């Protein structure tokens, strides 16, 4: 058990180091970082001065050591746009992104799992077909486009929800719905197929032949067993939502990390871009680690299989 956890933690640390390496290589080695970060109309002298100031003229190994030793203490240099350290700017935006992802995930779970259950218990019926259609739509509709359409119709025409920002509780509804929609589709499919699979297991047949009430079978045997795969998928999806809200935050001007990423790309503010990429990865990797550990605790089969 302990060895399993330790190896998982080791893998996560390795992955974060890999992310740092990737970010460093992409920005410093694949091209000229000074040209990347300076405005397009800058003169050659300005770029040269900037390069000297940022230390881009030093040997790559020196730069890498500097980058890593900064990253360990959360120092990614100053944002070029705000002229203040990049990391605190990212941390400021974290609560908004977490709120958006949490509400989106809740919506997806509340809608997706019941629909999946209904479909799984009544395969082939109309409710099942409708559920599958909904899942298909949820996974096929481009969510950034759906966001635009909701702004036009629900925001501007009907005035039900505010179209941008995070000023009142209603602000979160549209972006969270759009962000949660693909997850909802996936949860419908997954719940449905998990129910179908478990219904075919021997122990369910035994329960039926013992004459147990249907309700007991569903609650005690089926629901408990689908909970295990669902927990892991929900954990992973939450991570994806935290890292994948860029489009949605940009559309709704949601003041989270994704929106900041979009803006900082526009400003060519790469210290800030780096800080967002690394920090979001750390959050997602930590979440995945927690999911793995929870999973191992709920389901002893995972632990003993190693």
Partner 1 sequence: MPVENATVTADSLLDVERTWKDRLAYLWRFLWRDRGGLVGLIVFMIVVLAAIFAPAISTQDPFEQNLRASKLPPAWDEGGSWEYPFGTDSLGKDIFSRVIYGTRVSLMVGLFGVLIASILGLIVGAIAGYVGGRLDETIMGMVNLILSLPYLLFVVFIAAVLGRSLLNVILIFGITDAPIFARVTRGEVLRIRQSGYVESAISAGARWPRIIFDHILPNLIGPLITLATFEMSRMIFYEAGLGFLGLSVPPHEYPTWGNMLAAGRKYLTSYPWMATFPGLAIMFTSLGMNLLGDWLRDVLDPRLRRSRK
Considering the rule CB under 8 A, would residue 200 count as an interface residue with partner 1? yes
Name the packing angle between helices 126-140 and 173-199 (round to 10°): 130
Q: How far is the CB of 289 from partner 1 (least distance, A)?
A: 9
Considering the rule CB under 8 A, would residue 263 count as an interface residue with partner 1? no
Q: How far is the CB of 270 from partner 1 (least distance, A)?
A: 8
Considering the rule CB under 8 A, would residue 240 count as an interface residue with partner 1? yes
State the sign of the Cα–Cα–Cα–Cα dihedral 222, 223, 227, 230: positive
Q: How far is the CB of 290 from partner 1 (least distance, A)?
A: 12
> In b/e form, how buried is each residue of 5-36, taking b as 16+ CB within 10 angstroms?
eeebeeebeebbeebbeebbeebbeeeebbee
Q: Name, in order, each residue with C-beta under 8 angstroms of 293's C-beta and a sequence gap of 6 or more.
A: 5, 8
Q: How far is the CB of 161 from partner 1 (least distance, A)?
A: 14
**CA 80, 251, 16: angle at the middle one, nearest 5?**
55
d(C-alpha 215, C-alpha 82), whole Å: 60
Q: How far lies 259's CA from each of 71, 101, 155, in Å?
A: 22, 13, 19
Q: How many residues bind partner 1 (CB under 8 A)?
A: 53
Q: How far is the CB of 187 from partner 1 (least distance, A)?
A: 16
Give the one residue of 246, 260, 272, 296 binding partner 1; rule: CB under 8 A: 246
Q: Lay out the site mask for partner 1 across 119-138 (x = CB under 8 A, - = otherwise).
A: ----x------------xx-
User: Which token pair is 86?
Assistant: 């990049």
Considering the rule CB under 8 A, would residue 288 count as an interface residue with partner 1? yes
Site residues (vs partner 1, CB under 8 A): 11, 14-15, 18-19, 22-23, 26-27, 30-31, 36, 123, 136-137, 139-142, 144-146, 148-149, 151-152, 156, 193, 196-197, 200, 236, 239-240, 242-244, 246-247, 250-251, 261-262, 265-266, 270, 273, 277, 280-281, 284-285, 288
């Amino acid at each position: 058990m302990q060895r399993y956890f330790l190896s998982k933690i080791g893998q996560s640390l390795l992955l974060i180091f890999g992310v740092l390496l990737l970010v460093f290589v992409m920005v410093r080695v694949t091209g000229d970082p000074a040209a990347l970060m300076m405005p397009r109309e800058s003169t050659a002298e300005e770029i040269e001065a900037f390069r000297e100031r940022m230390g881009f003229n030093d040997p790559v190994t020196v730069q890498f050591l500097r980058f890593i030793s900064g990253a360990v203490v959360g120092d990614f240099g100053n944002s070029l746009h705000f002229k203040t350290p990049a990391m605190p700017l990212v941390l400021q935006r974290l609560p908004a992104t977490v709120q958006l992802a949490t509400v989106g995930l809740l919506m997806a779970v509340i809608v997706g799992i019941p629909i999946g259950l209904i479909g799984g218990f009544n395969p082939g019926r109309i409710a099942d077909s409708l559920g599958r259609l909904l899942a298909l739509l949820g996974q096929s509709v481009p969510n950034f486009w759906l966001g635009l359409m909701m702004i036009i119709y629900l925001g501007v025409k009907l005035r039900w929800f505010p179209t941008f920002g995070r000023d009142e509780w209603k602000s979160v509804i549209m972006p969270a719905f759009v962000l949660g929609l693909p997850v909802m589709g996936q949860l419908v499919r997954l719940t449905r197929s998990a129910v179908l699979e478990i219904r075919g297991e021997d122990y369910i047949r035994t329960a039926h032949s013992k004459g147990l009430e249907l309700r007991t079978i569903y609650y005690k045997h089926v629901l408990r067993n689908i909970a295990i795969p669902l927990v892991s998928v929900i954990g992973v999806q939450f991570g994806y939502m935290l890292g994948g809200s860029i489009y949605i935050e940009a559309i709704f001007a949601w003041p989270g990390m994704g929106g900041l990423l979009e803006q900082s790309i526009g400003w060519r503010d790469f210290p800030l871009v780096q800080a967002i990429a690394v920090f979001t990865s750390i959050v997602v990797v930590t979440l995945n680690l927690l999911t793995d550990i929870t999973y191992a605790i709920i389901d002893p089969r995972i632990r003993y299989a190693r």
